[in-house]
Structure formats: structure tokens, C-alpha cells
């Protein structure tokens, strides 16, 4: 293993940064789109089932198939991989945002309205903070999925640690497979842990009345 790191250490670091870049951008786009959309559909219940259903359909498409569909539409490389992974990141975040917002106590919403808050203020200052644990659970799940699925992006020339895995499979070299698989696993676990810390930070403390 030491010999492998001496020979391939710089390439391993490069592929790890590529992997993190693709995963981070895909997840960030998913958050930017899915959280506001999840909030919006709580205000339009008739559209909620349709939008969540469409996201669910995309989620059922096999990852390799979706990546392959990107080739005739967009081409190969990082951009189509990011688009495909962004699509996969949507459902857990969208669904959890919708569920979390709907589970906010009507009493809290009425209290916000009674204090003279606008609908936007109620969402940003009351409902989103109370729904944050559920929303963050969806983001954490998406993060783990996206980091794992980014390994398949190598099939369309996007780079990342999947390059080592694919090379190891084609050359029958276990060290290459482990060099790709172990960092992906560590990154997924680390992302889940760090996002868990973010969840704790943004979750409001509720003091029980005595």
C-alpha cells in the first residue's frame, strides 16, 4: 500500500478533489432547487403530489442509464455528470422539506401570524427553523448518495475516484479498486457527520415550560 501511495499519491489527491468538486456542486444545486420548491409546494397542495411524483420517477432511473442519457443530450465530462447527480439529489431533499414544513405545528404558524409576521417572515423565521431537522436529514441522505454515485461518473469521462475503480476492474488490480473505494466511503461518512453538526447548529433549542 505504501508503494502504491508513493507511485500514485498525487493522482489520488487529484481524483479526490475532482470527486469532491462534482459531488459538492451537484448537492449544492439540489439544495438550491429542492428546498425552495419543497416550501412552495406546501402552499400549493394540488401540485405537491405531481412534483414529488416526477422527482420520484427520475430517482427510479438507474444511475448508469441516466448518465448514458446525458451523452447524446449534453456530451461527456463533468457538466453532464453534475446535471445527472443533481437530478438524483432532488428527491430526498424535496420530500423531506415538504414533510418537515407540513409537520410544523399549526400553533406555531398561528403565533407567527398573530405577531404580525408576513408569510415570508413566518417561513424564514418560524417554519424553516422548526423543519430544519427533517430537511437536514434529507440533505444528509442526498450527500451520501451523491458521493457514492459520483464514482459512476467516470463512465462518461467526468473523472473522480471512479477512475481508479474502473481501472482496477479492467486491469484486475485490487489495489486500484481499494484506492478508489475506501476514500469514497470515508468521504461519505465524513459528509454525513459534518452535516449532522450543521443540523445541530441550525436546529432551534426548545425549552420546556416549567
Q: What is the mean pLDDT of residues 32-52?
A: 89
Q: What is the mean pLDDT of residues 180-191?
A: 93
Q: Set out the domains of the chain in order of their start, with CATH numbers.
A: 8-202 (1.10.3720.10)
Residue 25: all three cell numbers together: 456542486
User: CA 149, CA 167: separation in Å to the nearest integer?
Assistant: 17
Write down the pLDDT at residue 27: 96
pLDDT for 209 beyond 50:
no
The pTM score is 0.88
Write down the pLDDT at residue 30: 95
Better-predicted residue by pLDDT, 138 or 175: 138
Q: Which residues of 176-185 are buried (b: 16+ CB within 10 A; e: fewer)?
A: bbebbbebbe
pLDDT for 104 beyond 50:
yes
Q: Quickly state the pLDDT bin for 143 (edges 50, 70, 90).
A: very high
User: CA 59, CA 87: separation in Å to the nearest integer?
Assistant: 8
Q: Give Cα separations from 4 to 151, 167, 180 (angstroms).
A: 20, 14, 12
Write down the pLDDT at residue 95: 92
Closest CA to 67 of 59, 76, 57: 76
pLDDT for 206 beyond 90:
no
pLDDT for 55 beyond 80:
yes
Mean pLDDT across the chain, nearest whole number?
87
What backbone phi and psi angles, to 5 degrees, belong to 115?
-80, 0
What backbone phi and psi angles, to 5 degrees, belong to 157?
75, 30
pLDDT in tens, 6-17: 677 788 889 999
Write down the pLDDT at residue 76: 87
Write down the pLDDT at residue 17: 94
pLDDT in tens, 66-78: 888 888 888 888 9
Q: Quickly state the pLDDT bin for 98 (edges 50, 70, 90).
A: very high
Write down the pLDDT at residue 208: 44
Q: Which residues of 88-109 are buried (b: 16+ CB within 10 A; e: fewer)?
A: bbbbbbbbbbbbbbeebeeeeb
Write down the pLDDT at residue 185: 94
Residue 183: all three cell numbers together: 476514500
Cβ atoms of 15 and 65 closer than 8 Å = no
pLDDT for 207 beyond 70:
no
User: CA 193, CA 137: separation in Å to the nearest integer?
Assistant: 11
pLDDT for 205 beyond 80:
no
Cβ atoms of 188 and 143 closer than 8 Å = yes
Closest CA to 112 of 127, 98, 93: 127
Amino acid at each position: 500500500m505504501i508503494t502504491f501511495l508513493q507511485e500514485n499519491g498525487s493522482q489520488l489527491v487529484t481524483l479526490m478533489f475532482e470527486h469532491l468538486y462534482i459531488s459538492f456542486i451537484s448537492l449544492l444545486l439540489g439544495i438550491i432547487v429542492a428546498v425552495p420548491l419543497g416550501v412552495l409546494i406546501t402552499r400549493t397542495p394540488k401540485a405537491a403530489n405531481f412534483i414529488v411524483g416526477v422527482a420520484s420517477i427520475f430517482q427510479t432511473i438507474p444511475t448508469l442509464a441516466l448518465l448514458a442519457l446525458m451523452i447524446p443530450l449534453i456530451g461527456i465530462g463533468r457538466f453532464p455528470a453534475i446535471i445527472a447527480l443533481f437530478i438524483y439529489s432532488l428527491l430526498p431533499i424535496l420530500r423531506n422539506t415538504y414533510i418537515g414544513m407540513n409537520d410544523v405545528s399549526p400553533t406555531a404558524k398561528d403565533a407567527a401570524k398573530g405577531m404580525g409576521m408576513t408569510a415570508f417572515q413566518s417561513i424564514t423565521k418560524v417554519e424553516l427553523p422548526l423543519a430544519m431537522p427533517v430537511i437536514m436529514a434529507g440533505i444528509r441522505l442526498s450527500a451520501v448518495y451523491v458521493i457514492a454515485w459520483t464514482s459512476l461518473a467516470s463512465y462518461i469521462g467526468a473523472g473522480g475516484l471512479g477512475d481508479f475503480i474502473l481501472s482496477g476492474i479492467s486491469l484486475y488490480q485490487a489495489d486500484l479498486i481499494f484506492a478508489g473505494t475506501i476514500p469514497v466511503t470515508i468521504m461519505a461518512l465524513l459528509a454525513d457527520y459534518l452535516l449532522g453538526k450543521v443540523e445541530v447548529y441550525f436546529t432551534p433549542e426548545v425549552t420546556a415550560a416549567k
